[in-house]
Amino acid sequence: MADRITSLQVAAKAGVSQSAVSRVFTPGASASPKTTLKVRAAAMELGYRPNILARSLITGKSRIIGLVVAYLDNYFYPVALEKLSNALQAQGYHVLVFMASNDSQSTDQVIDELLDYQVDGIITASVGISSDLTARCEAAGVPVVLFNRSQETAAHSAVTSNNFAGGKSVAEFFVAGNHKRIAYIGGWEGASTQRDREAGFRAGLSAAGKSLAAHALGEFNAEQAKEVARKMFCKPEHPDAVFIATDHMAFAVMDVLRSELGLRVPQDVSVIGYDDVPPAAWAAYDLTTVRQRANVMVQETVSLMLDKIRNPSSPAKHIKVDSPLVIRSSAKIPKGWTL
């Protein structure tokens, strides 16, 4: 096996110092265009690649951010994770993705493993983190930012859409449409997103003197959502409007309503989801939904993470991003409202 080409050899070939080579291959470091051109040309000719692991041992920084996600079947998360990965890579960070389930024991185990990789920070997407592991992350100096999930404690920064306001806007839309039997199909009851969306929805109904005609939890799972929809809508006096906590579940419910139960959307049942994932705009669904502004959420998450890495003593922040209602044809449009 040929000997590994070193940065010293590249420096000699390019006619620059070894520290100049290091600056060229260090994200965020300063190097002139002329030096960069010479160093990269020499590196390409010699076949040099920087040793990231060796550099991390010297600097104490791996430039790796761990991403922990519970599930990818909901379109929102692949889209959001791609945006997170691209944004972090643009800042010179590598991304290590781990899967976890919703229960805290599984999440703690995954984050425990991430700490062994000496990551510079951890972003959790739709999973929580226990107080014990919170303390360990703090002791290790590893910042954690929660994405699309919040916790009652203020230990970690968190970025979510304004789930309460989003749920309330759906209630106001249904009330304005003069719906009489309004239902809700939620997600996993342990999720802050589920709790806040339902709370906002109930508050909006209550302000208009209305209450839920039916309620069920779909656990953020398409098959579970189908099953609760079959039970909820098989009766003659079924709901005439339903708010569903995610688009992923809303698509499954719409399939049941139309294909299995012979109900028309929106003539018989108005359907509204939450997320505004790409299929929501497809003609097959044309789903009215609350838009999670993934670009803004990602921007805020990356900003919080980088700030915490650079300034470990900076306080945790909880950011709620406004989420507008996107009106399409799956729900009756009240007078005065437009597409």
Please give the full DSSP string across 89-101, using - where no structure is assigned: HHTT-EEEEEE--
**C-alpha distances in Å from residue 57, one per residue of 29, 52, 54, 69, 160:** 18, 9, 5, 28, 35
pLDDT in the model for residue 1: 44
**C-alpha distances in Å from residue 289, one per residue of 81, 163, 204, 233, 279:** 21, 12, 16, 20, 11
Q: Which residues of the chain have pLDDT under 70?
A: 1-3, 27-28, 51-61, 102-106, 128-131, 152-154
Q: Within the chain, how many helices (H) and strands (E) appear?
A: 12, 12
pLDDT in the model for residue 167: 98
Q: What angle do CA 138, 60, 157 make, to 5 degrees?
A: 30
Q: Give pLDDT tens digits for 95-121.
A: 888 887 766 566 777 777 877 778 899
Residues 6+ apart with CB under 8 A from 317: 157, 158, 304
Query: Which structural domains are found in the chain, ordered by start?
Result: 7-50 (no CATH), 61-161+293-321 (3.40.50.2300), 163-292 (3.40.50.2300)
